[in-house]
Amino acid sequence: MLNIGCHLSTSKGFKNMGKEALSIGANTFQFFTRNPRGGKAKDIDAKDVNELLEIMKKNNFATILAHAPYTLNGCSADENTRKFAIEMMADDLVRMEYLPNNFYNFHPGSHVKQGVDIGIDFIAQMLNTVLKPEQTTTVLLETMAGKGTEIGRSFEEIAQIIEKVELKDHLGVCLDTCHIHDAGYDLSNFDAILDEFDQVIGLDRLLVVHLNDSKNVKGAHKDRHANLGLGEIGFDILNGIAHNERIKDVPKILETPYIDGKAPYKEEIEQLRAIKP
């Protein structure tokens, strides 16, 4: 069975996200650990979380995914911003243990004018500070579009970060289809992309796919998501990725835009489940 879900709002709590996922035919989902622009995280309600865990168990959910705030920049040129990123991630990872054995995804960050190598060092330092041997959460680096000075625009940059981290067992990668298309990868031959990923990073690290179409042409370095089939990648390619045998069990998460103020996820999930490539 396809492991597919989408980004959901935490505003009504954890149990509600489980119910919402079920109502749209999803068996996984993603949520923000706190306001995506940063700020304080809500206290965890253990009862609410346990009710979600029960729903997940009863309905054979795949692994779920938390997303770090966008403001987290562990490779900023500003020391306070870097310190804040470490504190936020460490705090998020403590709270993730209420949902054991799931994933925590973050954007590697923007090096601003310091250069990629310094940026990569800072990101690795952050991970070496926050990762703990006993944690059950796997931390994922997301592949990025290469907007501005974003790090993670190539598999090589992601591999260089992982290389510098001690507790590699706690690391994985979230491949965002919109982002890698915008970074310049040609998704029309996804098996070739998987071969390249395997050579550079190792396919066993590919733990989540963000399944998004892109409003921009390949290599645009923009990062603007489109609904499946309404962008430059196209439905057939994205559907082929969703059903690719080599990443069969990897959860696929939609982060596609709302249409006329309405979430498109139920329909997109239905299409993906119904249409075999």
When the beta carbons of 7 and 273 are compared against Fe ion, the nearer one is 7
**Torsions phi, psi for 175 (to 5 deg):** -95, 115
In the three-class reduction of DSSP (H, G, I as helix; E, B as strand; rest coil), residue 180 is classed as helix
| 223 counts as binding Zn ion under rule CB under 5 A | yes
| 153 counts as binding Fe ion under rule CB under 5 A | no
Among the listed ranges 18-26, 112-120, 136-144, 147-155, the one in contact with Fe ion (CB under 5 A) is: 136-144
Q: Is 169 a catalytic residue?
A: no
By C-alpha distance, which of 277, 197, 208, 209 is closest to 237?
A: 277
Distance of CA 161 to the CA centre of its chain: 16
| 142 counts as binding Zn ion under rule CB under 5 A | no
Residue selected from 205, 210, 215, 252 as contacting Fe ion according to rule CB under 5 A: 210
CB of 179 to Zn ion, least distance (A): 6
When the beta carbons of 224 and 273 are compared against Zn ion, the nearer one is 224
DSSP character at residue 170: G
Distance of CA 25 to the CA centre of its chain: 20
Q: How far apart are CA 199 and CA 196, in angstroms?
A: 5
Question: Rule CB under 5 A: which of 172-201 touch Fe ion?
Answer: 176
223 binds, among Zn ion, Fe ion, none (CB under 5 to 8 A by kind): Zn ion
Q: How far apart are CA 94 and CA 72, in angstroms?
A: 16
Length of the chain: 277
Token pair listed for 214 = 């892109």
Which candidate in 142, 157, 182, 213 is catalytic? Answer: 142
Q: Which residues are catalytic?
A: 37, 67, 70, 107, 142, 176, 179, 210, 223, 225, 255
